[in-house]
Amino acid sequence: MSKRWLPLGAIGLSVVLWSMAYVLSGWALATASPAVLSVSRFAIALIVLVPLAARRRHFVRTLRDPRTILLGLTGVTLYYSFANIGLLFTTPGTAALVVSLLPVLTAIAAVVMISERLTRRTLVGLVLATIGVGLVAASGFRFDLGVVLNIVALASYAIYTVLLRRHGDRDDGPDALVLATATGVWGTALMLPWLGWEVAVGSAAVPTDGRGILSILALALIVTAPTLVLFNYGAERVPAAISGVATAAIPALGYGFALLLGEPLDPVKALGGAVALFGVLIATLAQPDVEPSPPGTGLPEPADLAPEVRADDPAR
């Protein structure tokens, strides 16, 4: 039974970490350019992830898989590019509130792309989560270009979440660390032309203050690297709509962090956060079909962690 809840726990922890990213990204963008921020946070994260993933089975094969390229494009390149550019035109708080659309976008993508059937509890949780984040947003939301760009980013991430679920149904799929790392490699590579464009036009800028540098390091090592692996592990094993509903906790958690940092209590926001979290609990805790280890995608046994040494090994 404990293994049955591991995927939900992984998604929950990734959501908690994700809710910290908007403030950290805002601090970094005070002196850094969007492409420098996006590429550097993933490059640093990959310094940690690649040596670990390279020791596991199927890493090279996963890198060569066109489906991994699509995951990198939707879940890394498009999402982080549009989200970070959007932060130049809106506040981190507003960007965090826009995440309220992600559960709806993910549910729609799941129905359209993989004909996923939404259970009654999932629909109830989705409605409550949407109402809750709407209340949170009511006291501090504003519509601007940054909001539009973040909506585009979220639509891309919704597609990525559904693709992860489809990937989890493969009988020969890699484990979560391998898939997350390979996705990050391709997503970072596809962002390099954007970084090159910033350099060419003279808009590239590295952080010049200690807070900006520490923010990028925190984004890379505390947020990006763990979240890539945790969210991939969970999203492969639960219905895509459930993964989407779980993200409704991000605005509520973000507001909770703001309260801890001294922001005055707003009763409407507090009520909205509570309703959103209640919706998340209804959708996730009552979900009976969580798969702790779909065929071919479970974490490998210790014996499988040895480096690949044969160039003609078919697993490569």
pTM > 0.75: no
In this structure, the number of other CB atoms found within 10 A of the CB of residue 256 comes to: 18
The stretch 108-129 carries a mean pLDDT of 75
On the question of pLDDT at 314 being above 70, the answer is no
User: What is the number of structural domains in the chain?
Assistant: 1
Copy the structure tokens of residue 50: 């690649």
- pLDDT given for residue 78 in this prediction: 94
Longest dimension (CA), the chain: 63
Lowest mean pLDDT among 53-57, 195-199, 225-229, 272-276: 272-276
Q: What are the tens digits of pLDDT across the range 71-83?
A: 999 999 999 889 8
Q: Which amino acid is at 261?
A: L
pLDDT at residue number 218: 93
| Structure tokens belonging to residue 198 | 């910033």
127 within some domain: no
Does the residue 197 lie in any domain?
yes
% of the chain beyond a pLDDT of 70: 68
In a domain, 268, yes or no: no
Question: Is the pLDDT at 208 greater than 50, yes or no?
Answer: yes
For residues 45 and 184, is the Cβ–Cβ distance under 8 A?
yes
Q: Is residue 97 part of a domain?
A: yes
Question: Encoding tokens for residue 12?
Answer: 């929950």
CB half-sphere exposure, 245, CA atoms < 13 A: 32
Within a domain: 61: yes
Residue 199 in domain: yes
Cα–chain center distance at 249: 13
Residue 254 has pLDDT above 90, yes or no: no
State the pLDDT at residue 236.
Answer: 78
pLDDT tier for residue 148 given thresholds of 50, 70 and 90 = confident
Residue 221: both structure tokens together: 């090592």
Q: Higher pLDDT residue, 33 or 280?
A: 33
Give me the pLDDT at residue 197, please: 94
In terms of phi and psi (left: phi > 0; alpha: psi -120 to 50; beta: otherwise), the region of 65 is beta
In this predicted structure, the answer to whether residue 237 has a pLDDT above a threshold of 90 is no
Q: Is residue 113 part of a domain?
A: no
Give the pLDDT of residue 247: 72
**Residue 283 domain-assigned (yes or no):** no
Give the domain range for residue 213.
Answer: 3-106+141-238
Terminal Cα-to-Cα distance of the chain (whole angstroms): 34
Which of 32-36, 123-127, 146-150 has the least mean pLDDT? Answer: 123-127
CA atoms of 90 and 87, how far apart (whole Å): 5
Looking at residue 312, its pLDDT comes to 46
pLDDT at position 182 over 90: yes
pLDDT score for 47: 95
Q: Using pLDDT thresholds of 50, 70 and 90, give the confidence band for residue 307.
A: very low
What is the pLDDT, as a whole number, of residue 302? 34
